[in-house]
Amino acid sequence: MSGVIDLSALELRDAIAAGEVSAADATRAYLDAIETMDKQILAYNETFAERAMRQAEDIDKKRSAGETPDLLAGVPVALKDNICTSFGLTSCSSKMLENFHAPYDATVVGKLASAGAIVLGKTNMDEFAMGSSTENSACQTTHNPWDTSRVPGGSSGGSAAAVAARMCAMAIGSDTGGSIRQPAAFCGCVGLKPTYGRVSRYGLVAFGSSLDQIGPLTRDVADSALMLGVLAGHDSRDSTSVDRPVPDYLASLDKPIEKLRVGLIKEFHSESLDAEIRGAVDKAAGIYRDAGAEIIEVSLPHSRVDTDETGQLSSYAVACYYLVATAEASSNLARYDGVHYGHRTAEKVGGIVELYSRSRAEGFGDEVKRRIMLGTYALSSGYYDAYYLKALKVRRLIKNDFDAAFEKCDVLLAPTAPETAFGIGEKSADPLTMYMSDIYTISANLAGIPGISIPAGLSKSGLPLAVQLLGNVFAEETLLRAARMYEKSNGATRLIPEMVT
């Protein structure tokens, strides 16, 4: 059965449907892979071996009884640990929620179950999805399967590492400023952040509610299309989910787009960009040109990336994001009060404010505290106009730039991250430098548009490279088809780390 975990989710689903592989064998193969690999990678916070085997046996029984298989029947998946499940824990990799049993399933969990997917476990993340390396986890430090001395990216680092190390067929992540796309880039997988409102957020533990989206981390673009088709759709339990039809993303995937207009973002393509990453973007532009696409230079002045004399990156979009996201976080995380659920101090306290303050001091890690504090500051009396309101105005300018760009282009081509996977501990002392990891991904969240990170081969030092495509709102079909065009021509996808082979 050694080949089972090498199949893509789509191939595995078809093999199970054809009776070539049983869901039970596939699930066992993944559980074995977790058993051997995860000691080094530490991608999973929790696994559900028995439950997964029961689910798989049910799928096999249904198949033997002649039932038509569902879209993901028998496909083993991993969930980021901020997706609520009525089974197991939902910890957000925080001490605050270390014993939290969610009383219900997130909408996406219900959708995956209806589609026949098998949940292998919950994956590690930066605490409450705040970070770009998965080092801000109260549970464990996840290692990049390509080089275990390096981070897998974040915050969906556990999900990305699990996909890359063949410890699940596909995974779910969440993306508030790049948290699906950046770890996908670091681990050599495909990561898709859908349009804001495309996928229900019901049951996703909130960080920045106007920015958060759930999306797939997969080995290839076809699996991304498959998973998005399962996840997308309106949900009356999320008032920000949009009621519009979900296209069959897979059906159109292999049709190349004629007269595709690809925008190359001038401000992202500067001399200061890492040469190999710049090379990957140039190569992608060449691939599109050869496929008959028109390459158009576009400008996103308010997402401009600057480099100062010390090499420090900066951008209006990152500044805007760290006001909007932290303001929303300070409000969302006010619910952790040591009363309703979550950590409560064991010390004797004098009153309710002390109970709140001490429980929160004990339950939250440093980065979460820093962001709650920054958001509280941005929203506080005397600073609201100068920071929060100013950031919302800049957010509009950023969105206007995208609107203008999409008048001329169908998709925009960009780097995903300013660098390949960095070393564990390399940036943990400097929060501001860490924030710059999301410099090319953050604008999409502010504007609400979809983005996908696609593997682009390996760097000279053997680490995954990636390129990013951004699409107009609800243009996932175009985005995925354009991504598939690149993937097909580049021939550098489905990369496998040496430790897995």
Partner 1 sequence: MTEKKIDNELIRHIALLARIEMTDEQADALGRQFTDIVAYVDKLSELDTDGIEPMAHALDVCNVLADDVPGESLSSEQALANAPARDGDFFKVPKVIGDSQ
**Among candidates 297, 316, 290, which has minimal Cα distance to 412?**
297
- Using CB under 8 A as the binding rule, whether residue 389 contacts partner 1 is answered as yes
**Among candidates 288, 225, 233, which has minimal Cα distance to 467?**
288
Helical (H) or strand (E) element with 314 = strand 313-314
Residues 6+ away with beta carbon under 8 Å from 262: 285, 288, 293, 294, 295, 296, 409, 410, 411, 412, 413, 482
Q: Which of 3, 245, 350, 491 touches partner 1 by CB under 8 A? A: 350
Question: Could you tell me how far CA 149 lies from the centroid of its own chain?
Answer: 22
CB of 487 to partner 1, least distance (A): 27
**Helix pair 9-17, 49-64: axis angle to 10 deg:** 50
For 223, half-sphere exposure in the C-beta direction (CA atoms, 13 angstrom radius) is: 28
Smaller CB separation from partner 1, 240 or 489: 240
Q: Kind of pairing, strands 261-265 and 411-415?
A: parallel
Smaller CB separation from partner 1, 307 or 490: 307
- Using CB under 8 A as the binding rule, whether residue 357 contacts partner 1 is answered as yes
CB of 100 to partner 1, least distance (A): 6
Stretch that binds partner 1, among 263-271, 360-368, 404-412, 481-489 (CB under 8 A): 360-368
Smaller CB separation from partner 1, 128 or 364: 364
Spell out the SS3 assignment of 57-96. Answer: HHHHHHHHCCCCCCCCCCCEEEEECCECCCCCCCCCCCHH
Q: Which of 8, 22, 80, 111 is catalytic?
A: 80
Using CB under 8 A as the criterion, what x/- string covers residues 441-470 for binding partner 1?
A: -----xxx----------------------
CB of 272 to partner 1, least distance (A): 17
Q: Which of 94, 155, 241, 443 is catalytic?
A: 155
Q: Which residues 111-170 are close enough to bind partner 1 by CB under 8 A?
A: none
Q: Which of 36, 40, 270, 380 touches partner 1 by CB under 8 A? A: 380
- Percentages (nearest 5) of helix, strand, coil residues in the chain: 40, 15, 45
How many distinct helices (H) and strands (E) make up the chain? 15, 13
| Buried-exposed string 49-59: b where 16+ CB fall within 10 A, e elsewhere | eeebbebbebb
For 381, half-sphere exposure in the C-beta direction (CA atoms, 13 angstrom radius) is: 0
Query: What are φ and ψ of residue 462, in 5° steps?
Result: 85, 20
Provide the residue type at 65 as one letter: A
- Using CB under 8 A as the binding rule, whether residue 244 contacts partner 1 is answered as no
CB of 373 to partner 1, least distance (A): 5
The count of chain residues that interact with partner 1, using the rule CB under 8 A, is 68
Sign of the CA dihedral with 108 first, then 111, 113, and 116 last: negative
Q: Which residues 416-435 are close enough to bind partner 1 by CB under 8 A?
A: 431-432
Stretch that binds partner 1, among 22-30, 267-275, 343-351, 483-491 (CB under 8 A): 343-351
Q: Rounded to whole angstroms, how far apart are CA atoms 227 and 181?
A: 15
Q: Which residues 283-342 are close enough to bind partner 1 by CB under 8 A?
A: 302, 314, 316, 319-320, 322-323, 330, 334, 337-342
- Using CB under 8 A as the binding rule, whether residue 210 contacts partner 1 is answered as yes
- Using CB under 8 A as the binding rule, whether residue 268 contacts partner 1 is answered as no
Q: Rounded to whole angstroms, how far apart are CA atoms 69 and 402?
A: 41
Q: Which of 22, 91, 179, 224 is catalytic?
A: 179
Is 64 a catalytic site residue? no
Is 179 a catalytic site residue? yes
Smaller CB separation from partner 1, 88 or 145: 88
Q: Which residues 79-118 are close enough to bind partner 1 by CB under 8 A?
A: 99-101, 103-104
- Using CB under 8 A as the binding rule, whether residue 17 contacts partner 1 is answered as no
Catalytic residues: 80, 155, 179
Footprint of partner 1 on this chain (CB under 8 A)?
99-101, 103-104, 196-197, 210, 236, 239-240, 242, 302, 314, 316, 319-320, 322-323, 330, 334, 337-344, 349-358, 360-361, 364, 369-370, 372-374, 376-377, 380, 386-387, 389-397, 399, 431-432, 446-448, 473
